[in-house]
Amino acid sequence: MKMAAHSLTQLDLSESLERKFIATVCEWERIEYGEGKHRIPEAFYLCAKKNRTGFFMLLNGSSLVGYADVWELPEDFYSMLRVGIIDEESIAERYILSRSDSRSGLWYIGSIITDPQIRLERPVGAALAFASICSALPGFFQNYSKFPARILGVGSSPFGKKLLERWGFAAVARDENAIDLRPRFEKVMERPRDADALHLGRREISQEAP
């Protein structure tokens, strides 16, 4: 089955269904990252509502298969998040730039996760789903970012760290007063075609990222 991820602006979903899917996303994060290291449904919903172009869902009928969230941030918040002075769970609606705000070109990739049950039962299908979600990212940046641009990712798992490195992200040194010690990685994109590096080929990928 050919799958494609779409942003909330492209999906015709009711508010109740959007909230249901976002609650599912938060539960997936709790499973993958542990208690206290996942987003809260109501706060996460407000973030998605602020910038619907940066929240991607992969659906199979009425079932959520996977998702990704990508947010453009103001410079001061991005700078603190980059070096761990604040943790990624601190991202809230007020820190996310809407489509009507001035562009910063400073982006954060929150999570890219496929359904844990599908990964357990059908790892090849989960890998293809993961690649499909990632394939939405190059066009997103090319269409919505100013350049040069920077993308920040947090290696919350060994697989996430490996994926960011594969995409050409470089490690970021954390601040001596950092409170979030998870490894940070950053990629500089000088021109739109640099976003093509975020494509994934059809190889087996069976974990979550970043």
pLDDT tens column, 160-206: 888 899 999 999 999 999 998 889 999 999 999 999 999 875 443 33
The CATH superfamily label for domain 6-198 reads: Gcn5-related N-acetyltransferase (GNAT) (3.40.630.30)
Range of weakest confidence among 61-70, 74-83, 95-104, 151-160: 151-160
C-alpha Rg value of the chain to the nearest Å: 16
How far is Cα 208 from Cα 205, in angstroms, rounded to an integer? 9
How far is Cα 183 from Cα 10, in angstroms, rounded to an integer? 33
How far is Cα 160 from Cα 210, in angstroms, rounded to an integer? 4
Percentage of the chain exceeding pLDDT 70: 93
Determine whether 178 is exposed, middle or buried from the number of CB atoms within 10 Å of its CB (0-12, 13-18, 19+): middle
Mean pLDDT within 130-148: 93
Mean pLDDT within 90-106: 91
Q: Are 127 and 3 in contact (CB under 8 A)?
A: no
pTM of the prediction?
0.89
Mean pLDDT within 124-150: 93
Dihedral over Cα of 55, 169, 167, 118: its sign: negative
- HSE at residue 203, side-chain half, CA atoms within 13 A, is 4
Among left, alpha and beta (phi > 0; psi -120 to 50; other), residue 84 is left
Decide which of 4 and 103 is more confident: 103
Beta strands (DSSP E) in the chain are: 6-7, 55-60, 63-72, 106-114, 149-154, 170-172, 184-189
Structure tokens at 112: 């890219």
Instruction: Identify the pLDDT of residue 207.
Output: 43
Mean pLDDT, the chain, rounded, equals: 88
Dihedral over Cα of 98, 104, 105, 106: its sign: negative
Q: Are 150 and 169 in contact (CB under 8 A)?
A: no
For the chain, give the number of residues.
210
Task: Indicate the domain borders of the chain.
Answer: 6-198
Instruction: Identify the pLDDT of residue 85.
Output: 94
pLDDT, one tens digit per residue, over 60-69 is 888 999 999 9
Q: Are 110 and 70 in contact (CB under 8 A)?
A: yes
What is the SS3 assignment for 55?
A: strand
Q: Are 108 and 151 in contact (CB under 8 A)?
A: yes
Count of beta carbons in the 10 Å neighbourhood of residue 204: 11
